[in-house]
């Protein structure tokens, strides 16, 4: 293989992990010894929503899932990500993750799994050299040192190409015609290149989207700040969203969208949170009744105020002062 540059050796991330390391943490371990019964270190399959959820698990091989239709929820480090038709997930060896089928959806997934040495036998060496050509097939789809799954949404021509390749690989694997292992490998290499391009396109689109969102927020930053200042000064009054939109000179729909992007909360959530902070401070620093505090922070109904306060603090306002003291 031709050498591309002189990069230093890096520790092989796929060597030396044990089943015990994961089972002690309650994580199910799928070992290639049992998952690849044939001599070929690669397999293809198609499953649907009747397959059942896969809770926290890991494996010592690469896994590529392409959502043909429907949708799944993919989880990693406690965060869940929705994957709809056209989405791809690339899971490197030993990444602990989970999959749930979205209820009510007719979901179908094509899966491709392979061991790293199927790309090149040098991936089984204790020290993984990154300065040879075949390393480039895996490097672009690896995140955070090869531990984090890569999720991307494909569209248009790139999605059709990926689906066509996976379906052809599935046919080859099922029919097992002459030299099917070589055909699978050739298609897998092409698939990895396409997914690498797809990831770069996704990253570019993400940067552009973030820039557009920042520009939009900056454009209306002053209008949002005017609405915030009004809330801080007049929270004890009856404040209506329509009134604030007129103050900001924005339509209701657009104002709500910009306000949430700017603050992370809807307008009503922000208003109620601010009122609850004021109410909790009044209960601790003033010798006033709960009813007086209720009116002082802009609520007209004591029952509604008490319910909101308990949701915000976990205890009713009548107990808050006593418990805090």
Query: Is residue 39 domain-shared with residue 103, that is, in the same domain?
Result: yes
| CA atoms of 216 and 93, how far apart (whole Å) | 40
Is the Cβ–Cβ distance between 122 and 132 less than 8 Å?
yes
Q: What range defines the domain where residue 276 resides?
A: 220-324
| CA atoms of 15 and 208, how far apart (whole Å) | 38
Query: Is residue 266 domain-shared with residue 247, that is, in the same domain?
Result: yes
Per-residue model confidence (pLDDT) at position 165: 94
CATH number, domain of 92, equals 2.60.120.280
Query: Is residue 226 domain-shared with residue 207, that is, in the same domain?
Result: no
Query: Is residue 99 domain-shared with residue 239, that is, in the same domain?
Result: no
Q: Of 161, 190, 213, which closes a domain?
A: 213
Q: Could you tell me if residue 3 is inside a domain? A: no
Q: Could you tell me if residue 151 is inside a domain? A: yes
Query: Is residue 99 domain-shared with residue 130, that is, in the same domain?
Result: yes
Q: Could you tell me if residue 155 is inside a domain? A: yes
Query: Is residue 122 domain-shared with residue 270, that is, in the same domain?
Result: no
Query: Is residue 105 domain-shared with residue 21, that is, in the same domain?
Result: yes
Per-residue pLDDT of the chain (325 residues; tens, 9 = 90+): 222 333 333 344 545 555 555 555 668 888 888 888 778 999 999 999 888 888 889 998 999 999 999 999 999 887 888 899 999 999 988 889 999 998 888 899 999 999 988 887 766 654 555 555 556 667 655 655 557 888 888 877 888 999 999 999 999 999 999 999 999 999 999 998 888 876 655 555 544 555 665 666 677 888 888 999 999 999 999 999 999 999 988 899 888 888 887 777 889 888 998 999 899 888 888 888 999 999 999 999 999 999 988 888 888 888 887 766 5
What is the chain's Cα-based Rg?
A: 28
Q: Of 188, 213, 238, which closes a domain?
A: 213
pTM higher than the cut 0.75: no
| CA atoms of 34 and 11, how far apart (whole Å) | 26
| CA atoms of 89 and 297, how far apart (whole Å) | 48
Number of domains in the chain: 2
Q: Could you tell me if residue 5 is inside a domain? A: no
Per-residue model confidence (pLDDT) at position 162: 92
Q: Could you tell me if residue 176 is inside a domain? A: yes
CATH number, domain of 258, equals 1.10.10.60
Per-residue model confidence (pLDDT) at position 217: 67
Per-residue model confidence (pLDDT) at position 11: 43
Query: Given CA atoms 75, 80, 83, 88 in this order, what sign does their dihedral have?
Result: negative
As given in the structure block, the two tokens for residue 286 are 């003033």
Residue keyed to tokens 């399959």: 45
H or E element: which one contains 98?
strand 97-101
Query: Is residue 172 domain-shared with residue 203, that is, in the same domain?
Result: yes
H or E element: which one contains 234?
helix 221-234
What letter would DSSP give residue 16? Answer: S
DSSP string across 37-95? -SSSSEEEEEEEGGG--EEEEEESSEEEEEEEESEEEEEETTEEEEEETTEEEEE-TT-
Query: Is residue 270 domain-shared with residue 227, that is, in the same domain?
Result: yes
């Amino acid at each position: 293989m031709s050498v591309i540059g002189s990069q230093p050796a890096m520790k092989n991330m796929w060597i030396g992990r044990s089943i015990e390391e994961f089972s002690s943490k309650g994580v199910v371990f799928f070992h290639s010894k049992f998952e690849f019964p044939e001599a070929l270190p690669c397999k293809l399959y198609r499953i649907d929503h009747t397959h059942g959820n896969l809770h926290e698990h890991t494996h010592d091989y690469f896994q590529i899932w392409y959502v043909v239709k429907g949708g799944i929820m993919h989880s990693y480090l406690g965060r869940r990500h929705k994957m709809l038709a056209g989405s791809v997930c690339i899971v490197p060896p030993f990444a602990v993750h989970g999959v749930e089928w979205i209820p009510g959806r007719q979901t179908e997934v094509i899966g491709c799994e392979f061991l790293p040495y199927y790309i090149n036998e040098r991936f089984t060496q204790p020290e993984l050299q990154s300065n040879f050509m075949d390393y480039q097939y895996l490097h672009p789809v690896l995140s955070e040192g090869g531990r984090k799954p890569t999720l991307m949404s494909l569209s248009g021509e790139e999605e059709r190409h990926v689906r066509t390749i996976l379906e052809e690989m599935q046919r080859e694997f099922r029919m097992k015609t002459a030299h099917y292992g070589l055909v699978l490998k050739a298609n897998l290499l092409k698939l990895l290149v396409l997914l690498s391009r797809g990831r770069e396109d996704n990253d570019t689109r993400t940067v552009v989207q973030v820039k557009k969102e920042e520009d939009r927020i900056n454009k209306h930053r002053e209008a949002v700040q005017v609405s915030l200042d009004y809330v801080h000064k007049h929270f004890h009054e009856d404040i209506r969203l329509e009134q604030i939109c007129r103050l900001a000179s924005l339509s209701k729909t657009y104002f709500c969208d910009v306000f949430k992007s700017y603050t992370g909360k809807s307008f009503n959530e922000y208003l109620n949170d601010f009122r609850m902070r004021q109410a909790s401070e009044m209960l601790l620093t003033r010798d006033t009744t709960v009813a007086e505090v209720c009116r002082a922070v802009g609520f007209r109904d004591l029952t509604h105020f008490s319910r909101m306060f308990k949701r915000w603090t976990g205890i009713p306002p009548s107990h808050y002062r006593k418990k805090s003291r």
